[in-house]
Structure 1
Amino acid sequence: MSSNVLGKSRKVMVTMNSLRDSLTPAEKRIADYVIDHSIQVTKLSIAELSHAVNVGEATIIRFCRTLGLKGFQEFKMELAIENSNSQQNERSILDSDIAHNDSAELIGQKLQNTINNVLSETLSLLNFSTLEQVAQTIKQCKGIYFFGIGSSGITAEEAKNKFMRIGFNVDALNNNHFMYMKASLLQKGDLAIGLSHSGSAVETIKALRLAKESGATTVALTHNPRSNIASQADFVLINGNRQGHLQGDSIGTKISQLFVLDLLYTLIVKDDVVGSQHRKLKTTKALDS
């Protein structure tokens, strides 16, 4: 698995939220305290933060390095910059949770804001070098196989549609039996892409593991770069998670997954615009006839 799964334009708060489920109990205490007291933390010494969260200074330093930072001073600097930028944003519709007395227009504004936030968060978390490597792998592979269950399975079907339209040998599987059978038959030169927002979908994890054991290249698209599905992947792509509590994955998760897949699609098309247009026209004509 690629060791640097987070993008260079990472944000401290976004990265902490992405990694939270895979942090140790001590690291979670640090993360929770920073999230709740982000402005105050920028003014604390490492000894003061250590006392506040009841962990050793060495644990704080390891926590900072887990976020991709060199140490506590860089952590405080990045956090201060992020706090400053956040305070400059308009606050009127930043709370994307839907209230009972919201008008239809305000709900629309909140949902639009949710989409903007989740796309910004995804751009902060993505490693674009890894994204480009995956795009190159797609162009060279014999077949692409998307694995996902639930709403991730729906996203996998949408990806299948996009990549088939420009001429790729592609399939999407969301039934665990079919996923396991197909994964076990993959070979070197095939590409398996597992979609799991939480990174803990046992069916998708097993499918990706079987694909890897069969010799296929594996990719995980997840919000948690230290999740179980990431451990089965040669490449890890991170999607954002900024959404209101009442919206679920109907907006946030699906939009962020589709955004990453569309980035891959666009990277591939831009290197072969004429060929991609020709193949897409052929498939369009086939549907019209």
Structure 2
Amino acid sequence: MIELKLREVKKDLSTKELKVAGYIIENTQALKNMSIQTLAKLNHVSTTTILRLCNKLGYKGFSDFKVDLIGSIPKKLNNEILQDDINLNDSLADVNSKVQAMEKSSIDETHSIVNIHALNNAIDLIINCQKIVIFGVGSSGLVGKELEYQLIKIKKDVNCHFDAHVTRSLISTLDKNDLIIIISHSGETPECVELLKLAGQSLVPSLAITKMGQSQISSLATLVLHTTSMEHASRLIPIRSKISQISVVNMLLTNLFIRQYDERLLLQIQNREKRKYPSKQ
């Protein structure tokens, strides 16, 4: 499919874009774990050149292009493959190296697709709201608990429960001055979709952290922060999606703490230093 699209737009591509297109065709497998910055460096072009190529192929960005590219790669049935490029017979060192590459590519990809305007609006929503309810299923829920813990530090009234029924009850108490945060890799988690619909009925603003592309959660949420969308739904360990979610949360929290920095946060830092390095009596 990708090769067909490239052939169709070939006459409209610049010399640099043709060079990148040729590299993509020859190195499809390697591109799975490659960031846009790495691809640009290997071809001695700018990331803008690659984004223009993606646009000419009909994609919104490099992430959407990679999703289609990975989906077009023929999948071989192999009982020795755990997930992605990790094999059951890999050595300990090989597995560690592959996990590191997956984590790094996920971080690089997440930072390359961040929408600064949406991130800034998300910070405003958190600062200005009165109460916050966070929900996610599985590993997304664990990321939600970390977000909850950090927001408590700036005295936000925040709740994150793994039980959708409890969360539903909490959302029913919210109004337009509050906020619901939904974390879902797929963008189609039934419990998350239901909670967003419930929030919408009460005009409660919502922030979704979910993968790029069209989904029910993206269409229902007031504001969306995107994560990478390269991970297959059948994966056993959500390495890419979890790292991407954590990267988004870290960007959100760090900028939020800078905006909310005051004497209270300074005191927390000083007390933490005192506990770590108690003065000698």
TM-score, normalization by structure 1: 0.64
Count of equivalent residues? 219
For 2:102 and 2:176, the matched residues in 1 are separated by 40
How do residues 130-279 of structure 1 correspond to structure 2 at under 5 angstroms? 130-243=118-231, 248-275=236-263, 277-278=265-266
Q: State the Cα distance separating 1:163 from its structure 2 match.
A: 1.2
For 2:136 and 2:233, the matched residues in 1 are separated by 23
Alignment-derived partner of residue 98 in structure 1 = 86
Whether the 8 Å CA contact 2:184–2:209 is kept in 1: the answer is: yes
Q: Which ranges in structure 2 are unaligned for 5 or more consecutive residues?
A: 14-50, 67-82, 277-281
Taking a change above 3 Å as real, the CA distance of residues 246 and 117 of structure 1, as seen in their structure-2 partners, is: farther
Amino acid at match of 2:132: I
Q: State the Cα distance separating 1:242 from its structure 2 match.
A: 3.7
Structure with more contact order per residue of length (Cα contacts < 8 Å, sep ≥ 6): 1
Whether the 8 Å CA contact 1:97–1:246 is kept in 2: the answer is: no
Taking a change above 3 Å as real, the CA distance of residues 212 and 252 of structure 1, as seen in their structure-2 partners, is: same
Aligned identity (percent) is: 26
For 1:203 and 1:215, the matched residues in 2 are separated by 18
The SS at the match of 1:277 is helix
Whether the 8 Å CA contact 2:5–2:57 is kept in 1: the answer is: no
Amino acid at match of 1:161: Y
Whether the 8 Å CA contact 1:144–1:192 is kept in 2: the answer is: yes
Whether the 8 Å CA contact 1:118–1:256 is kept in 2: the answer is: yes
* Corresponding position: 1:43 with 2:10: yes
Amino acid at match of 2:86: I
Q: Deviations over 1:101-159 (max 9, x none)?
A: 32212211111110111122222333221111001111111022111122211211111
Q: Which ranges in structure 1 are unaligned for 5 or more consecutive residues?
A: 1-32, 47-67, 84-94
Taking a change above 3 Å as real, the CA distance of residues 166 and 280 of structure 1, as seen in their structure-2 partners, is: farther
